[in-house]
């Protein structure tokens, strides 16, 4: 039988799969001899068994009881003892941190009897009743789903009766009355009495934590963070320590470096005379950790020493939760801390300088997604007006949007394509959908470690917290800002524009102009690497990625301007030039002539008119890419895409006819559109099929490429074009186009060899890759179409229609159009690569679908043995970084999710 329960002295930090992050790290701290209250962890294996069977696995509670007896023996206290009761905290702890998403129950063990024991033993009636009311509320909410508002209403009544406004002003009698009122609420809502058996409380709390894994908000968070749904959570049971035992007690959260900027030094928040949940939920405002030095210097210095030990031990930024009970410091949690993208880069570079890690490991600790975030714009301080208020800068970025006051409104507005800022007094886990939908989050309460801050940082949303000058009135839909001078306050309503600066904490009325990020300016060559610590860190890590990566990174670019930017961003050429744009704009008329041509002569004339224009385009592109490969794809979409839409044209012709006018050219066009109309254009006359059906079309493009190459050579350049055939499903299609192209190219003197290759984007092409490789000089995987055709998902339709449901059902964790579906479409890719390389070991292989710029997919293409990925110019830097990370992949990946 597996072991379902581990004492903290049995585990270690390697066991995160089994013990969850919190459990494994509590065990690690225990091993390091740090002051951790005794406790044990019920494993994720037990959770999975519980969730599968709807009941705890056989023997699990026996083990729990055995370990509980161990704690009792160590502390000399017993759960349920009427004189000196042991109290327990029960907390969730999954493999990946999911802040605030799952449940916690504190003060387990208090009953109508033991509360007196606690009062007598502590000599503090008020403390005992305060703890008991917290238990009834937390247990009621967590285990039985009693709505919090019911408890809050009772609290308000008791405060009114007592004539006080702060909870802390309630005395023991008030709190006793409150416990009675809470127990009534509990009974009314659940139909049963509040459990008076501490063991039953523990049993039910453990089950509730298991079940909270599947709570709606946890499911949503996992989907957002791409955390697998099947992992389950561990449950940590530990002896309670109390931060609410008076002014010499308290609780706090601390980081070994600033998690927002990476700056060195210890950062954190402290709240005297409070329990941990009060800090994280942001309901009470904290003081900076430095204040603790004044309040309790001994504990402060002990904490500093411990944080130093932890940072050396974990070789990374750590965060901790701690509690001080009457001057004694206890560590309740540590982990390699979450951080902003900026801090991730800065800290990784610092640790290299400090000799703690090498550049490979530093590269492993940052991600392409983070680099992508850093390329977002920021406000320019010079152009920003006077702020309305300044709060805590909790997650970076510059966000401008319309004010919304609740999660539903944020989701609805985002659905309409509007950018919104979610404004709340404080957030709680129920606000998650709105936080995902919003461009930024602004709260009037709470610090850097409040729920809003932690979640926003994790999601890469801009966030300003604790802007206390704001009064948020959700019911009235308004935000009032007093400037403290006694002048009339500024009032903003839902729908008004607001700007928040996650780097400074500034809140501005109206839309403040945004400026490019320094990282973007550096990448564009406008800022020197030494401009600031962040730019310098990006420079070093990106530079290292370039040294170690095996994958080349090219860009998808159709214009000279895109090609120029791509090169500046570090692209090693153009992996895909979609020539269709050259058929649009003021050239539409020429395309219409081609489509409407009734004789060979008409068609040839139309093509002859298009050719010089195409040649100019290619020349411009080649001029930006001397010495680099430029993959030019022959025309892909169906021709009718270049004509007006059928319904629009039908209406125009009908209108003309109704007025007795001659529809003229429109009439001809309508006939052509009808003739070419397809029920499934994506599966119709496009790509190579079009090239084989419209004589002279591909030949015109090939000639234009050859002419542009010759012209570029004459101008002293070094053009390296490649010709790519789209939508090939059979080797014979490619052969036909290739033969024709080679014959044409042979007419040009002095032309360098121009490789002719193919997209692999039809599943049949992937499955017949060995034959196709005989005829192709290169393969470029079109994973957009390969996904469309492999799954049978219309690219243009399905994402908005049913992908939401599919994600909810866990059919896939992320849209297969965003990140490659490795099991299915990826399998097609692997088969094609293996078969093709068996035929032609030196075949050049790349990808030019959207996946070429997706961090997870880049890793897949590296593993699959690709030569390059090609992506939009703005994603080139992150693809470079990810290609480097794939190359240095470390055995023990640090995980800061
Ligand atoms: C593809 O299908 O992945 C591709 C790159 O081509 P397009 O997106 O132009 O169809
Ligand atoms: Mg395609």
pLDDT tens per residue across span 672-690: 888 888 889 889 999 999 9
pLDDT band per the 50, 70, 90 thresholds, residue 283: low
pLDDT of residue 713: 97
CB of 252 closer than 6 angstroms to any ligand 1 atom: no
User: What's the rounded mean pLDDT across residues 830-839?
Assistant: 98
Give, for ligand 1, the residue of 580, 725, 848 to mutate: max count of ligand atoms closer than 8 Å to Cβ: 848
Stretch among 272-276, 736-740, 848-852 having the lowest mean pLDDT: 272-276
Q: With a cut of 60, say whether residue 136 has pLDDT above it.
A: yes
For residue 578, which ligand has an atom nearest its CA? 1
Which has more confidence, 158 or 648? 158
Tokens 């530990």, located at residue: 238
CB of 872 closer than 6 angstroms to any ligand 1 atom: no
CB of 783 closer than 6 angstroms to any ligand 1 atom: yes
CB of 785 closer than 6 angstroms to any ligand 1 atom: yes
Task: Tell the residue nearest (CA) to atom 6 of ligand 1.
Answer: 782
CB of 558 closer than 6 angstroms to any ligand 1 atom: no
How remote is the CA of residue 114 from the centroid of ligand 2, in Å?
A: 70
Q: With a cut of 50, say whether residue 896 has pLDDT above it.
A: no
190 exposure class (CB count in 10 Å sphere: 0-12, 13-18, 19+)? middle
How remote is the CA of residue 24 from the centroid of ligand 2, in Å?
A: 47
The total number of residues shown for the chain amounts to 897
How remote is the CA of residue 563 from the centroid of ligand 2, in Å?
A: 20
Contacts 24+ apart (CB under 8 A), 487-492: 490/388, 492/403
Give, for ligand 1, the residue of 579, 582, 759, 825 to mutate: max count of ligand atoms closer than 8 Å to Cβ: 759
CB of 849 closer than 6 angstroms to any ligand 1 atom: yes
Task: Tell the residue nearest (CA) to atom 10 of ligand 1.
Answer: 785
Stretch among 382-396, 524-538, 703-717 having the lowest mean pLDDT: 382-396
Task: Find all residues with CB under 8 Å of 90, minimum gap 6, and list them.
Answer: 104, 105, 106, 108, 202, 205, 206, 209, 235, 236, 237
How remote is the CA of residue 174 from the centroid of ligand 1, in Å?
A: 69
CB of 782 closer than 6 angstroms to any ligand 1 atom: yes
Q: With a cut of 70, say whether residue 842 has pLDDT above it.
A: yes
Options 47, 67, 451, 851, the catalytic residue: 451
Work out the mean pLDDT of the chain and round it to a whole number.
91
pLDDT band per the 50, 70, 90 thresholds, residue 282: low
Please, what's the b/e burial string for 26-63 (b: 16 or more CB within 10 A of its CB; e: otherwise)? bbbbbbeebebbbbbbbbbbbbbbbeeeeebbeebbeb
Closest atom, ligand 1, to C-alpha of 726: 6
Which has more confidence, 591 or 202? 202
CB of 848 closer than 6 angstroms to any ligand 1 atom: yes
For residue 871, which ligand has an atom nearest its CA? 1
Q: For the chain, what percentages of helix, strand and coil (3-state, to nearest 5) are there?
A: 50, 15, 35
pLDDT of residue 587: 80
Q: With a cut of 70, say whether residue 454 has pLDDT above it.
A: no
pLDDT band per the 50, 70, 90 thresholds, residue 895: very low
Stretch among 51-60, 479-488, 723-732, 845-854 having the lowest mean pLDDT: 479-488
How remote is the CA of residue 224 from the centroid of ligand 1, in Å?
A: 26
CB of 869 closer than 6 angstroms to any ligand 1 atom: no
How remote is the CA of residue 785 from the centroid of ligand 1, in Å?
A: 6
For residue 820, which ligand has an atom nearest its CA? 1
Stretch among 13-17, 334-338, 522-526, 639-643 having the lowest mean pLDDT: 639-643
- Model-level pTM greater than 0.75? yes
Closest atom, ligand 1, to C-alpha of 849: 3
Options 848, 851, 862, 871, the catalytic residue: 848
CB of 761 closer than 6 angstroms to any ligand 1 atom: yes
Residues 592, 612: Cα–Cα separation, whole Å: 17
How remote is the CA of residue 760 from the centroid of ligand 2, in Å?
A: 9
Is 848 catalytic? The answer is yes
Residues of the chain with pLDDT > 70: what percent? 96
- Number of C-beta neighbours around residue 161 at 10 A: 10
Q: With a cut of 60, say whether residue 376 has pLDDT above it.
A: yes
Q: With a cut of 50, say whether residue 54 has pLDDT above it.
A: yes
Q: Classify residue 606 as left (phi > 0), alpha (psi -120 to 50) or beta.
A: alpha
Stretch among 124-128, 142-146, 168-172, 223-227 having the lowest mean pLDDT: 223-227
User: What's the rounded mean pLDDT across residues 32-56?
Assistant: 96
Residues 763, 728: Cα–Cα separation, whole Å: 10
User: What's the rounded mean pLDDT across residues 780-789?
Assistant: 96
pLDDT tens digit string along 228-237?
Answer: 888 999 999 9
pLDDT band per the 50, 70, 90 thresholds, residue 892: very low
How remote is the CA of residue 387 from the centroid of ligand 2, in Å?
A: 48
pLDDT band per the 50, 70, 90 thresholds, residue 782: very high
Task: Tell the residue nearest (CA) to atom 9 of ligand 1.
Answer: 578
Is 451 catalytic? The answer is yes
Q: With a cut of 80, say whether residue 128 has pLDDT above it.
A: yes
């Amino acid at each position: 039988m597996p072991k379902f329960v581990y004492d903290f002295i049995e585990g270690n930090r390697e066991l995160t799969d089994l013990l969850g992050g919190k459990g494994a790290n509590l065990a690690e701290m225990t091993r390091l001899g740090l002051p951790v209250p005794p406790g044990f962890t019920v494993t994720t294996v037990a959770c999975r068994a519980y969730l599968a069977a709807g009941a705890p696995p056989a023997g699990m509670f026996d083990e729990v009881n055995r370990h509980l007896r161990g704690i009792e023996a160590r502390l000399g206290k017993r759960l349920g003892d009427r004189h000196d009761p042991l109290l327990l905290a029960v907390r969730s702890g999954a493999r990946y941190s999911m802040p605030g998403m799952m449940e916690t129950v504190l003060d387990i063990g208090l009953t109508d009897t033991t509360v007196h024991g606690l009062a007598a033993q502590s000599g503090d009636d008020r403390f005992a009743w305060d703890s008991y009311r917290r238990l009834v509320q937390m247990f009621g909410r967590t285990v039985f789903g009693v709505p919090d508002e019911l408890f809050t209403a009772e609290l308000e009544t008791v405060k009114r009766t007592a004539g006080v406004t702060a909870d802390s002003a309630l005395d023991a009698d008030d709190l006793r009355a409150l416990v009675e009122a809470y127990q009534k609420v509990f009974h009314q809502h659940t139909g049963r009495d509040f459990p008076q058996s501490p063991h039953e409380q523990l049993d039910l709390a453990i089950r509730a934590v298991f079940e909270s894994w599947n709570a709606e908000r946890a499911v949503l968070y996992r989907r957002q963070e791409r955390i697998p749904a099947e992992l389950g959570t561990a449950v940590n049971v530990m002896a309670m320590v109390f931060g609410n035992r008076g002014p010499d007690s308290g609780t706090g959260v601390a980081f070994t470096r600033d998690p927002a900027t990476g700056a060195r030094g210890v950062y954190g928040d402290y709240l005297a005379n409070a329990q941990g949940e009060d800090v994280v939920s942001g309901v009470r405002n904290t003081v900076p950790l430095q204040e603790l030095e004044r309040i309790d210097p001994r504990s402060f210095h002990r904490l500093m020493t411990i944080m130093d030990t932890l940072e050396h031990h974990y070789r990374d930024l750590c965060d901790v939760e701690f509690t001080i009970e009457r001057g004694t410091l206890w560590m309740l949690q540590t982990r390699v801390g979450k951080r902003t993208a900026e801090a991730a880069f800065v800290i990784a570079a610092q640790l290299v300088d400090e000799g703690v890690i090498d550049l490979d490991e530093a590269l492993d600790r940052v991600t392409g997604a983070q680099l992508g975030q850093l390329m977002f714009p920021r406000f320019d301080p010079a152009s920003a007006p006077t702020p309305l208020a300044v709060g805590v800068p909790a997650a970076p970025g510059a966000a401008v949007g319309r004010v919304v006051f609740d999660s539903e409104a944020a989701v609805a507005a985002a659905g309409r394509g509007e950018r919104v800022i979610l404004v709340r007094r404080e957030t709680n886990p129920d606000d998650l959908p709105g936080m995902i939908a919003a461009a930024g989050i602004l709260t009037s309460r709470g610090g850097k470690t409040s729920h809003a801050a932690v979640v926003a940082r994790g999601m890469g949303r801009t966030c300003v917290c604790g802007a206390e000058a704001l009064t948020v009135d959700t019911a009235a839909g308004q935000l009032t800002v007093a400037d403290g001078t006694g002048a009339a306050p500024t009032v903003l309503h839902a729908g008004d524009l607001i700007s928040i600066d996650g780097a400074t904490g500034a809140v501005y009325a109206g839309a403040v102009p945004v400026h490019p990020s320094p990282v973007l300016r550096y990448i564009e060559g406008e800022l020197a690497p030494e401009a600031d610590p962040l730019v310098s860190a990006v420079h070093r890590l990106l530079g290292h990625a370039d040294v170690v990566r095996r994958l080349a990174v090219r860009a998808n670019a159709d214009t000279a301007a895109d090609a120029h930017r791509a090169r500046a961003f570090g692209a090693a050429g153009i992996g895909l030039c979609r020539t269709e744009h050259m058929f649009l704009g003021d050239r539409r008329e020429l395309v219409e002539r081609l489509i409407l041509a009734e004789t060979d002569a008409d068609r040839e004339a139309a093509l002859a008119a298009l050719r010089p224009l195409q040649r100019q385009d290619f020349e411009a592109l080649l001029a930006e890419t001397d010495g680099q490969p430029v993959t030019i794809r022959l025309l892909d979409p169906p021709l009718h895409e270049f004509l007006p839409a059928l319904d629009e044209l039908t209406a125009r012709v009908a209108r003309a006819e109704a007025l007795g006018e001659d529809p003229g050219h429109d009439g001809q066009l309508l006939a052509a559109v009808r003739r070419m109309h397809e029920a499934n254009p994506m599966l119709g006359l496009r790509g190579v099929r079009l090239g084989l059906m419209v004589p002279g079309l591909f030949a015109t493009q090939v000639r234009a490429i050859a002419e542009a190459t010759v012209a570029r050579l004459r101008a002293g350049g070094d053009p390296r074009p490649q010709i790519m055939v789209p939508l090939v499903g059979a080797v014979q299609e490619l052969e036909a186009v290739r033969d024709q192209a080679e014959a044409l190219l042979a007419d040009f003197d002095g032309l360098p060899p121009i490789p002719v290759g193919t997209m692999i984007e039809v599943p049949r092409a992937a499955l017949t890759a060995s034959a196709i490789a005989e005829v192709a000089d290169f393969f470029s995987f079109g994973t957009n179409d390969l996904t469309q055709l492999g799954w049978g998902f219309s690219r243009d339709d399905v994402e908005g229609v049913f992908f939401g449901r599919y994600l909810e059902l866990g059919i896939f964790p992320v849209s297969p159009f965003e990140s490659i579906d490795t099991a299915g479409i990826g399998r097609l890719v692997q088969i094609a690569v293996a078969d093709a390389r068996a035929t032609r070991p030196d075949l050049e292989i790349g990808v030019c679908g959207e996946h070429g710029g997706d961090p997870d997919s880049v890793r897949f293409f590296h593993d699959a043995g690709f030569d390059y990925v090609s992506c939009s110019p703005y994603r080139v830097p992150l693809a470079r970084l990810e290609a480097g990370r794939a190359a240095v992949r470390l055995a023990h990946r640090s995980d800061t999710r």
